[in-house]
Amino acid sequence: MIRLHDPARDPLHRRAPAPSAGAVTRLGAYIAERGLKHSRQRDQIAHAFLGMAGHVSVEDVVARVRREDPRVSVATVYRTMKLLADCGLAIQRQFGGEGQTRWEAAAGRPHHDHLICTRCGEIVEFANERIELLQERVAKQHGFEVESHRLELYGRCARCRRAAEEKP
């Protein structure tokens, strides 16, 4: 479960497992295949992002990477995040009416869906095999071949519901 608005779970302080050598190699190969320049700043950004847990904004990544190198620009982070998405290491998400792009690491992560609180912004990741099987069955009934999907359920989390009930 990820509570983005809980200071104890601040994305700047949460750490994911260390980025795998495979992820770093994959990015390097992608950059080389396209004739792009390999840079220390790209490596720093990729390492910072891949070391963060949850659903992070570019601003979160900028703050993390600037701890090591205050000269890294926001534009460089945006371009690097696009590269990470293009090579399959990051997924770009737009949750509801939030208006802000969030990113999550893609490499080595199993498929999951999301519950999003419309009041506090909490994002809960979950996986449910019955839902996956039902989606496959519905697609098959309609002669549809699914290439990908995402499921996002919007509502109020238990904490926000309790807070609303406690108000006089």
Q: How many CB atoms lie within 10 A of CB 122?
A: 21
In tens, the pLDDT along 3-35 reads 444 333 444 444 555 556 677 788 889 999 999
Domains of the chain: 7-109 (1.10.10.10), 110-168 (3.30.1490.190)
Q: Residue 105: which H helix or E strand, with range?
A: strand 101-105
The structure tokens listed for 117 are: 């609180």
In tens, the pLDDT along 113-140 reads 889 898 888 888 888 999 999 999 999 9
Averaged pLDDT of the chain: 84
Q: How many CB atoms lie within 10 A of CB 27?
A: 26
More confident residue, 64 or 55: 64
CA distance 165 to 168: 8
Q: For 49, list phi and psi in degrees, rounded to 5.
A: -60, -50
Pairing of strands 90-94, 113-117: unpaired
Model pLDDT, residue 106: 85
The structure tokens listed for 102 are: 């969030």
pTM of the model: 0.70
